Amino acid sequence: MTNHISGGLHASPEAFSVKVEPAPEKKIVLLPGDGIGPEIVRVAVGVLRDCAAEFGHQFELDEFPFGGCAIDAEGMPLPAETLAACRAADAILLGAVGGAKWDALPVGKRPESGLLALRKELGLNINVRPIDLRPALRSLSPLSADRARHVHIDIIRELAGDIYFGEHRVEAHASGERATDEAVYTTEEVERVAKYAFARAEARTGRLASIDKANVLATSQLWRRTVTRLAADHPGVKLEHLYVDNAAMQLVLAPAQFDVILTSNMFGDILSDLGAALVGSIGLIPSMSCGPGPSLYEPIHGSAPSLAGKDVASPVGTILSASMMLRESFGLKQEAEWIESAVDRLFVKGIRTADIAEPGTTTLRCSEFGERLHSEMLGAVERQQRTGQGV
């Protein structure tokens, strides 16, 4: 399915304080996937449609099967046509994959194997997960009020190595079975993600925490040696090393000490879920997976098959993934801020989805949240036209 989305400005270019010229068309591949994926991607597409209309952009949206739905339709989680489209895209927006329906399949044939294969084929070796506690949601954090005041962390996770991509074996054993999962890292893999993390830290506050388990793991010892060596090339960055168990504790005790966190594939997977709990819900967290080609954007939550089709899932993580795409892949900072500020205003007004509902707030369905966000974003444009202030 292909949708060509474009539109002229509803306000003059001068009103937005930017010079608007005809924009080249951007190809965005949509991978709704399984479970709640189609519902949340549908809302994010609406946001991209609004962005195109208000800022004069052209987005070509192409939808392809991926994950469990692709297994059902074509017998494999990553069909050749889907992979080819992703390679030719400017960016990719993913909903979610997986579900109990496919759990009986061999590990390499499940929906999740399609995601691992896509990362490998596109060279998506770095993952960025912003952990930001939005001001209106501080009461949802399990942290005390003083600790919840400053939670703005970028977790940089290596995505192409470690135990997820090592050899996996199950063998007969005198006690029954013996299982082995191999964790492997090379100097090149660690250098690649570390250089990215140092650059990210330089662009923020100049603080970088590298997380490992170098007291017991050979891969972590290589990790620490490599990161320490590269630090000499970045004198403006204050580097700190922490063991992963201490890092988990410090994220709860004093999250404000962190700005950019660099860590391995498995540790990053775990710590980013902990970070999601600190800000109120895993449904709020976007992510970017990047490499030499098109980047992949997705919320970090799963497919939640028990919620599929009920219109109750939160689309916020996917909406913020779309805004992250605008900023990171297309350089559209103002457009991203337009979306994110509208989300924050809804939260301030007590507009919530079920996962972040509180007494005295209004709980909306997935599609209803998208509709309210649409009105909020357009309302900001109308207010800007009246006052002459930025959106």
Task: Tell how far CA 263 is from the center of its chain.
Answer: 16
Interatomic CA distance for residues 292 and 313, integer angstroms: 33
Catalytic residue among 50, 162, 259, 269, which?
Answer: 269
Whether residue 349 lies in the annotated active site: no
Whether residue 62 lies in the annotated active site: no
The amino acid at residue 225 is R
Whether residue 101 lies in the annotated active site: no
Interatomic CA distance for residues 382 and 391, integer angstroms: 9
For tokens 């779309």, the residue is: 322
Q: How far is CA 13 from CA 20, 54, 249, 299, 381, in A?
A: 6, 10, 48, 32, 12
Whether residue 185 lies in the annotated active site: no
CA atoms within 13 A on the CB side of 223: 29
26-33 vs 2-6, strand pairing mode: unpaired
For tokens 């942290």, the residue is: 143
Catalytic residue among 109, 164, 195, 344, which?
Answer: 164
Catalytic residue among 72, 181, 245, 333, which?
Answer: 245
Cβ atoms 28, 91 nearer than 8 A? yes
Catalytic residue among 154, 185, 213, 259, which?
Answer: 213
DSSP code for 205: T
Whether residue 273 lies in the annotated active site: yes
Catalytic residue among 109, 196, 273, 311, which?
Answer: 273
Interatomic CA distance for residues 263 and 190, integer angstroms: 9
260-263 vs 126-132, strand pairing mode: unpaired
Cβ atoms 43, 370 nearer than 8 A? yes
Among all residues, which ones are annotated catalytic? 164, 213, 245, 269, 273
